Amino acid sequence: MVLEAIKEAISTGMQAVRFETDCKTIPDALSLNNIPQNEFGDLISQRKSLLLNKPDFVVSYVRRQANRVVLVDSLDYFSFIFKQY
């Protein structure tokens, strides 16, 4: 999805765009000088080549909290149920 977002931002002339992903591997791999010689490396190379001409575009990792909220709600619910008995 990051590749499509980068392409769309370039084609519409956007500037200073921050792309967020919950996959830490992508921003980490984009910062590497040596890209792996495998399918993953090919995907990273595509993204990196698009970003070379756009230094104001940033791909960053953002930890998603949605799963944590579900877990807390579940724990609260079960805590309530067990207190009833």
pLDDT in tens, 50-60: 999 999 999 99
Cβ-contact 38, 83 below 8 angstroms: no
pLDDT in tens, 58-84: 999 988 765 555 555 545 544 544 555
pLDDT in tens, 28-44: 999 988 888 999 999 99
pTM above 0.85, yes or no: no
Can you give the residue ranges of every domain in the chain? Answer: 2-84
